Amino acid sequence: MEVPNTKTGFMNVTVCAIYDGTSYHIGLSSAFECPPVVTRMIREEGIELDEAYYKAGLTQTKRVGYSEGITGDLTKGRLTRKEQIKEAVGMALIYLENYKLYEN
Protein backbone atom coordinates (compact mmCIF):
# COMPACT_ATOMS: atom_id res chain seq x y z
CA MET A 1 0.00 0.00 0.00
CA GLU A 2 1.12 3.53 -0.62
CA VAL A 3 2.71 5.15 2.44
CA PRO A 4 4.13 8.66 1.99
CA ASN A 5 7.49 9.57 3.56
CA THR A 6 8.84 6.01 3.37
CA LYS A 7 11.97 5.13 1.39
CA THR A 8 10.07 3.53 -1.50
CA GLY A 9 6.67 5.14 -0.95
CA PHE A 10 5.10 1.72 -0.36
CA MET A 11 4.77 -0.83 2.44
CA ASN A 12 3.66 -4.44 2.44
CA VAL A 13 0.92 -5.33 4.91
CA THR A 14 -1.33 -8.35 5.41
CA VAL A 15 -5.05 -7.57 5.53
CA CYS A 16 -7.73 -9.81 7.01
CA ALA A 17 -11.41 -9.14 6.38
CA ILE A 18 -13.97 -11.11 8.40
CA TYR A 19 -17.58 -10.92 7.23
CA ASP A 20 -20.13 -11.68 9.95
CA GLY A 21 -23.14 -11.76 7.63
CA THR A 22 -23.82 -8.05 8.12
CA SER A 23 -20.55 -6.17 7.95
CA TYR A 24 -16.82 -6.56 7.45
CA HIS A 25 -14.26 -6.34 10.22
CA ILE A 26 -10.78 -5.43 9.04
CA GLY A 27 -7.46 -6.20 10.66
CA LEU A 28 -3.94 -5.32 9.55
CA SER A 29 -0.57 -6.83 10.36
CA SER A 30 2.64 -4.99 10.97
CA ALA A 31 3.98 -3.47 7.76
CA PHE A 32 7.40 -3.33 6.14
CA GLU A 33 9.08 -1.90 3.08
CA CYS A 34 10.36 -4.24 0.42
CA PRO A 35 13.78 -3.62 -1.11
CA PRO A 36 13.46 -0.90 -3.77
CA VAL A 37 14.28 -3.31 -6.63
CA VAL A 38 11.33 -5.50 -5.59
CA THR A 39 8.93 -2.57 -5.28
CA ARG A 40 10.02 -1.33 -8.71
CA MET A 41 9.37 -4.75 -10.32
CA ILE A 42 5.93 -5.00 -8.75
CA ARG A 43 4.96 -1.53 -9.97
CA GLU A 44 6.57 -1.64 -13.41
CA GLU A 45 6.07 -5.30 -14.36
CA GLY A 46 2.85 -5.95 -12.45
CA ILE A 47 4.21 -9.14 -10.91
CA GLU A 48 3.47 -10.57 -7.47
CA LEU A 49 5.69 -9.90 -4.48
CA ASP A 50 7.22 -13.38 -4.15
CA GLU A 51 7.89 -13.51 -7.89
CA ALA A 52 9.68 -10.14 -7.77
CA TYR A 53 11.68 -11.19 -4.71
CA TYR A 54 12.80 -14.36 -6.53
CA LYS A 55 13.47 -12.57 -9.82
CA ALA A 56 15.62 -10.00 -7.97
CA GLY A 57 17.81 -12.89 -6.76
CA LEU A 58 16.92 -12.38 -3.10
CA THR A 59 15.79 -15.96 -2.51
CA GLN A 60 16.32 -19.43 -3.95
CA THR A 61 12.69 -20.33 -3.16
CA LYS A 62 10.50 -19.60 -6.17
CA ARG A 63 7.28 -19.20 -4.12
CA VAL A 64 8.74 -17.90 -0.84
CA GLY A 65 5.27 -16.61 0.10
CA TYR A 66 4.18 -20.21 0.63
CA SER A 67 6.98 -20.93 3.12
CA GLU A 68 8.58 -18.62 5.68
CA GLY A 69 7.58 -15.68 3.55
CA ILE A 70 9.51 -12.60 2.62
CA THR A 71 8.76 -11.27 6.08
CA GLY A 72 10.56 -14.26 7.59
CA ASP A 73 13.48 -13.81 5.25
CA LEU A 74 13.90 -10.07 5.78
CA THR A 75 13.54 -10.34 9.59
CA LYS A 76 15.93 -13.32 9.74
CA GLY A 77 13.10 -15.41 11.18
CA ARG A 78 12.02 -12.96 13.88
CA LEU A 79 8.57 -12.63 12.28
CA THR A 80 7.28 -15.18 9.78
CA ARG A 81 4.52 -14.87 7.23
CA LYS A 82 2.36 -17.15 9.37
CA GLU A 83 2.80 -14.87 12.39
CA GLN A 84 2.03 -11.82 10.26
CA ILE A 85 -1.20 -13.47 9.11
CA LYS A 86 -2.07 -14.26 12.74
CA GLU A 87 -1.57 -10.56 13.59
CA ALA A 88 -4.05 -9.49 10.92
CA VAL A 89 -6.64 -12.10 11.97
CA GLY A 90 -6.24 -11.14 15.63
CA MET A 91 -6.81 -7.49 14.82
CA ALA A 92 -9.89 -8.29 12.72
CA LEU A 93 -11.34 -10.27 15.64
CA ILE A 94 -11.16 -7.30 18.04
CA TYR A 95 -14.62 -6.02 17.15
CA LEU A 96 -16.23 -9.45 17.16
CA GLU A 97 -14.80 -10.28 20.58
CA ASN A 98 -15.57 -6.84 22.04
CA TYR A 99 -18.63 -5.72 20.09
CA LYS A 100 -20.30 -4.20 23.19
CA LEU A 101 -17.49 -1.66 23.41
CA TYR A 102 -18.43 -0.43 19.94
CA GLU A 103 -22.17 0.02 20.50
CA ASN A 104 -23.51 3.58 20.24
Share of the chain above pLDDT 90, in %: 84
Mean pLDDT of 30-53: 95
45-96 confidence digits (pLDDT tens)? 999 999 999 999 998 888 887 777 899 999 999 999 999 999 999 999 999 9
Check the CA dihedral 87-93-99-104 and report its sign: positive
Closest CA to 82 of 97, 102, 66, 58: 66
Confidence (pTM): 0.85
* Full set of structural domains in the chain with CATH: 15-102 (3.90.950.10)
Share of the chain above pLDDT 70, in %: 100
Question: Which whole-number Å values give the CA distances from 8 to 34, 36, 55, 65, 79, in the listed order?
Answer: 8, 6, 18, 21, 21
Q: Which helix (H) or strand (E) holds 69?
A: helix 69-74
What is the pLDDT, as a whole number, of residue 47?
95
